[in-house]
Each structure stands twice: as C-alpha cells, then as structure tokens.
Amino acid sequence: MTKYATRQRKALLQYLHSHADEQLTARQIGEALSGEEISASAVYRNLAALEQAGQVRRLSKSGAREIFFQYAGAEHCRDCLHLSCKKCGKTIHMDADEAERLIQSVAICDKFKIDKTDTVLYGVCGECQQGKEAQK
Amino acid sequence: MTKYATRQRKALLQYLHSHADEQLTARQIGEALSGEEISASAVYRNLAALEQAGQVRRLSKSGAREIFFQYAGAEHCRDCLHLSCKKCGKTIHMDADEAERLIQSVAICDKFKIDKTDTVLYGVCGECQQGKEAQK
DNA sequence: CTAGTTGCAAAGAGTTTGCATGGCG
DNA sequence: CGCCATGCAAACTCTTTGCAACTAG
C-alpha cells in the first residue's frame, strides 16, 4: 500500500516516531506538522494505512469524542506491553520478559492470546500515585 | 447527577445490562431502543453520565471511526479484568483471583496501578484460534 | 411544585472522498 | 513516464447544545 516515501509521509513517520509515548489526535499531528505543510487528508490516509500495517494503534479516552493515535512500530515496542497513566498521560513500556509472563499466564488460564499491539493497560503510574499531581 | 429514573434511562440501563458482553455504538443502542422511543440526545447524555460514574467504558476499534460503549457496572465486573476477542467480538471475564494476581504483578514490577474499569485486553479467544472462524 | 430530563432541530466537530494536480522512483 | 500520493473542498456522519415542554419525586 505504501510505495512512495513522500515528503509528507516521512515527516509524519518521523513525528510519530519521536512522540511514541504520547497519544495524539489527528488534529494535533496535523498542527505539529504545519511547518511541513501536510493536509488533513494526508494525515488521515497515512494513519489509516499505518494502522492497517500494525504500526499505529487507535485509542479512545474517557470523555473524549476524538480518536487518539499512537506509534507502535518501534523495535522494542513489538515485544512489550504498554501501560498508560490516566493522570499524566505518560506511556510506560513493560519489560519484555514481564510482558511475556503475563501473556503466557492469560493464555493458560483463559485460552486467550493477547495481541501486544492492540492492548494498552490503563491506570496510574508510580509518580502520580505519590504526588497526586498532574490532573492536567 | 442522575436523580430521576425516567422511562428512557431505565430502558437504556436495562439494555446495556443485558448486552454487557458487547461493545456498542451510540447508534446501535438508539436503534435497539427505538421501540422505547428514546432520542439520540438522551442516549448520548446518559452514556456520558454513566461513563463519568464509572458504569460504562468507552472504547475504539481498529479501523472504526466510531466510538464504542460497554457496560462495566455489573457486580462481578468490578472485580475482574476483561478480554475482548478481535475476531468474534466476545468479551471474556477473567477470573477475579487471576486478575488480582496480574494487577499485583504489574504493581510490583512497574509501580503501576491498573484500573480494572478502563482496561481491556485485546486478542483472540480460544475458539477463534482453533477454528480460524468468524471474521465477521 | 421544582428541578432534573427529554426531544427537536440546528450547530459543531471530526473524518472521508472525488478529482485534478503533483512528485517519487 | 506511470502510478501513487497529495490538496482542496464538498459531503458525511457522529456528537453536542439551546431551549421549550414534560415528568418523576
């Protein structure tokens, strides 16, 4: 599906890559790349293609009508599971071994094979638990 | 926020309750309740209120622009984690003890406190793994 | 009665699509 | 050069909101 490395596509990929710990809306991405002159259509079309290719994951957030996107194609991201803090928004990369253990355990108990790309565990990270900070 | 038990709200709650294993769009819910005469506004307003109250969870699906809703208020649903099969769409309720073990393990390794209501693990269920069926 | 809730219709967002143009390989 | 990808703008669909009417308690 993706054959040409256009200026816009390169800029989008680079941006997603360097913001892999954030969950972004299409609009945020478009605005961030406004210097690169990329149209909304191109953003949506490329995100859709990347999602199909398993490079990007689509998420929703409590109370938000918009859909969020997050890069999931990084080398070590394919082997681990991800935690997302509801307070500060940060993404935590679970250790690969720990993820594997967790997935194995669920596979045995429930005969269920977890997909690492699609799954995100929501909750509160250590810092936010202590500080009670960053309601943002 | 929710003070009166109106006809519409009761119908909505009953419907969500009896379809807790499905992830539904607002439109699907509205159509299902068309016999009950409920307006789209009421569906959205009630879903938003229920979400805030932690009774309903909001989800997105790969490739789908719409947002999906799922009832999460059932007694035993508050103590367990949920698995969602990407092929057949079915929801599997993880055993409460197993869920607790998993959550504890993540709490220790990553200092991260998982929220049972917000989290859904995606993957493929046992039946779909064997049968390779139900692309639906 | 009184305040919460609904319906309707219009407004607002976000997302998709057709088509001509432009650019990568 | 040929085909893929982009831009633009219109079309769509989903969701929210204002306001008057309705209704549960």
Span A80-131, pLDDT tens digits: 999 999 999 999 999 999 999 999 999 999 999 999 999 999 999 999 998 7
Min Cα separation B18/chain A (Å): 22
How does DSSP classify residue B79?
Answer: S
Q: Report d(CA B80, CA A84) in Å as an integer.
A: 19
Give the model's pLDDT for residue A53: 92
| B26 neighbors B47 (Cβ within 8 angstroms) | yes
Contacts of B87 in chain A (CB under 8 A): none
**B72 C-beta neighbours (distance < 10 Å), count:** 21
Could you tell me the distance in Å between the CA of residue B5 and the C1' of nucleotide C2?
A: 16
Distance CA A99, CA A2 (A): 31
Low-confidence residues of chain B, pLDDT below 50?
Answer: 134-136
B60 CB closer than 7 A to any strand D atom: no
Q: Is the CB of A98 under 7 A from strand D?
A: no
Cα end-to-end distance, chain A, whole Å? 38
Query: Within the 11-70 window of chain A, which residues sit less than 8 Å (CB to CB) from chain B?
Result: 48, 51-52, 57-63, 65, 67-68
Residues of chain B with CATH 1.10.10.10: 1-74
Among A22, A25, A65, residue whose Cα is nearest residue B69: A65
- Residue A8 reports pLDDT greater than 80: yes
B122 vs B86: CA distance, rounded Å: 7
User: Which structure tokens are listed for B15?
Assistant: 């419907």
Residue B21's φ and ψ, nearest 5 degrees, are: -95, 5
| pLDDT reading at A133 higher than 60 | no
Residue A135 has pLDDT above 60, yes or no: no
Determine how β-strand B120-124 pairs with β-strand B82-85: parallel
Query: What pLDDT is recorded for position A14?
Result: 95
**Does A7 score more than 90 pLDDT?**
yes
Q: Which CATH architecture has domain A79-136?
A: 2-Layer Sandwich (3.30)
Where does the pLDDT of residue A132 fall: very low under 50, low under 70, confident under 90, or very high at 90 and above? low
pLDDT at A134 (0 to 100): 42
Q: Decide which of A62 and B112 is more confident.
A: B112
If one compares A36 and B54, the residue with the highest pLDDT of the two is B54
Contacts of A25 in chain B (CB under 8 A): none
The pLDDT of residue A24: 95
Nucleotide D16 C1' to residue B44 CA (A): 9
Q: What percent of chain A stands above pLDDT 70?
A: 96
- d(C-alpha A74, C-alpha B2), whole Å: 44
Tokens of A27: 């609009």
Query: CA of A4: how far to CAs of A7, A9, A14, B94, in Å?
Result: 9, 9, 15, 44
Residue with tokens 């990369």: A93
Amino acid at B102: L
Identify whether the C-beta of residue A86 lies closer than 8 Å to the C-beta of residue A133. Answer: no
Closest residue on chain B to A99 (Cα): B106
Average pLDDT, chain A: 91
Candidate CATH numbers 1.10.1240.10, 3.30.720.210, 1.10.10.10, 2.60.40.10; the one for domain A1-74: 1.10.10.10
**pLDDT for the residue A52:** 92
Our CA dihedral for B8, B14, B19, B24, rounded to 10 degrees, sits at: 20
d(CA A22, CA A25): 10
Question: Which residue intervals of chain B bear CATH 3.30.1490.190?
Answer: 79-136
User: Is there a contact between B136 and B88 (Cβ–Cβ < 8 Å)?
Assistant: yes
Chain C, protein-covered positions (CB within 7 A): 3-9, 13-18, 23-25
Q: What is the pLDDT of residues A20-32, one digit of tens each?
A: 999 999 999 999 9
Contacts of B113 (CB under 8 A, 6+ apart): A123, A124, A129, B103, B107
Contacts of A109 in chain B (CB under 8 A): 94-95, 98
Q: CA B56, CA B50: separation in Å to the nearest integer?
A: 6
- Output the pLDDT for position A21: 93
Nucleotide nearest to B8 (CA to C1'): C6
**How many separate helices (H) and strands (E) can be counted in chain B?**
5, 7
Q: Does the beta carbon of A134 lie under 8 angstroms from any beta carbon of chain B? A: no
Tokens of B67: 């947002």
Calpha distance B112→A17 (Å, rounded): 24
